[in-house]
Amino acid sequence: MALPPVAFDDLPRSVRSSIEAETGAVLETETVTAGKNSALSARVHTTGGTVFLKGLNSEHRWVWTQRCEADINPYVTPLAPRMLFHLVVEGWDILGFELLDGHHADYSPGSPDIPKVVQALRRLDDMPCPNIDLRLAEQRLSKYVTHPADAEAFAGDALLHTDWNNDNVLITGARARLVDWGWATRGAAWLDPAYWIIWLIASGHSPAQAEEIGQHIPAWATAPPTAVDLFADANAALWNEIAGDSPDVWTARLRSAAMKWRHHRRG
């Protein structure tokens, strides 16, 4: 569910002062509207430069995603922007990041951004999964499989991002950079390319074309087909649940992509 946006100026004075102690005096702020889950999402221009801030109320049920994002950051830069500070002040949990100056990745057929995202997925595939507390793919997906044991097909030792929404992929020059690591997960290495495939389909690729693009990512090229079938089933169930009876256009598009992919794999 989307949270109402909070502007920088709406934060309590003590929170703003703590941020300014990290960044320098704030000169101008811009609320960023792309994200749906951060109550605060802003570009902040300061005497010390420009930073990106995201924040949640400390009571929020997803505040743990802020901790996860902070914990994972040292292991995933420079694919991710560098975290500059994590503040917990007067009921607010705030992360400050290096600002990325780029555009959201375009996943449509023929987009020049696609090879850059492939490169980012290959880099992620090469990163060892740090020994920190992370969600487990087999647990996150367990509710969407027919038989509990099926979810074991998603278990593994790889570090996964799992949210390949193109709003989370910023293209800066020749590179794709990945933001929003709050749902970082441990699981089978082919899962990130598989999550991306649904977004490629939602952006106009046929399932066959999307899978073909995935072939450039070694983890995908070696994925066990029966496990991928189970993942396609699970994602169709997951997007059906998210969409419910009256989905918005965005959710309906993702559900349709997940259903098309499942149909492609299962016939």
Q: Which stretches of the chain bind Mg ion, using CB under 5 A?
A: 35, 168, 180
80: phi then psi, degrees, rounded to nearest 5: -95, 155
Closest to 94 (Cα-Cα) out of 51, 132, 134: 51
- When the beta carbons of 54 and 205 are compared against ligand ATP, the nearer one is 54
Instruction: Examine residue 78 and say whether the peptide bond preceding it is cis (omega within 30 degrees of 0).
Output: yes
In whole angstroms, the minimum distance from the beta carbon of 88 to ligand ATP comes to: 17
In the chain, DSSP finds a helix count (H) and a strand count (E) of: 9, 11
Q: Which of 116, 125, 93 is nearest to 170 (CA)?
A: 116
Q: Which is nearer to ligand ATP, 183 or 206 (CB)?
A: 183
Between 75 and 152, CB nearer to ligand ATP: 75
Shortest distance, position 6 Cβ to ligand ATP, whole Å:
11
Could you tell me the smallest distance in angstroms from the CB atom of residue 41 to ligand ATP? 5
Residue number closest to Mg ion, CB atom: 180
Q: Which does 41 bind (CB under 5 to 8 A by kind): ligand ATP, Mg ion, none?
A: ligand ATP
Binding residues for ligand ATP (CB under 6 A)? 32, 34-38, 41, 52, 54, 81, 97-100, 104, 165, 167-168, 179-180
Phi, psi of 111 (to 5 degrees): -65, 135
Task: List b or e across 227-258, with b for residues whose CB sees 16 or more CB atoms inside 10 angstroms.
Answer: bbebbbbbbbbbbeeebeeebeeeeebbbebb
CB of 177 to ligand ATP, least distance (A): 8
Instruction: Report the residue number, 16 or 97, with the smaller CB distance to Mg ion.
Output: 97
